Amino acid sequence: MTTKSSLVFALVFTSGTFSAAIHAETFQWKDSNGQTVVSDVPPPASAKSRRSIGGQQPTVISEKPADKPAEGAKSSDAPKSTADKDLDFKKRQQEAKEKAEKQAKEQAAENDKRENCARAQRNLAALEAQQPMATFDEKGERKLMDNTQREQEIERSRRVLAESCK
């Protein structure tokens, strides 16, 4: 049994050594003298042309470093943090609230306009019916309208009607 155990140990050790050698990365670059250097140590930053050879995925490293995005800029592909999601949610809530308030104000203005139009139509109809109408003077006493006042009120009612019922 000792032989069998030794054989299994030797096979495992050898396969581990080969797999480590397969995954080792090798680099190739030209130094300042123009000499080609091949090593398992990454090249210095001053190397003119660098590339990785061997290993699973050989990569070519360009002479100039890759441009990094500005620190303040975020990648659009990056997932949003909880704080960013919360901020976006609150922003959407505020926009929805402002939109609802604006619609409510527009609806109230439309209702007021409609009500003023109906009131102006009723007032004009009453004035044109030639029924006796009264107004109040400075003392608060009722005073009947004469024909001149009635015509003035009819003209004023027509102007209000034209403005309110567009």
Structural domain boundaries, residue 39 = 30-62
- Count how many domains the chain has: 2
Q: 1 in a domain, yes or no?
A: no
pLDDT at 58: 45
The verdict on residue 11 lying in a domain is: no
- pLDDT, residue 108, reads 96
| Structural domain contains residue 159 | yes
**Cα 164 from Cα 158, distance rounded (Å):** 10
CB atoms within 10 A of CB 119: 14
* pLDDT of residue 60 exceeding 60: no
Both tokens of 106, joined, read: 């527009």
Residue 79 has pLDDT above 80, yes or no: yes
Question: What does pTM read for this prediction?
Answer: 0.42
Of 62, 78, 113, the position where a domain reaches its end is 62
Residue 21 · residue 13 · CB < 8 Å: no
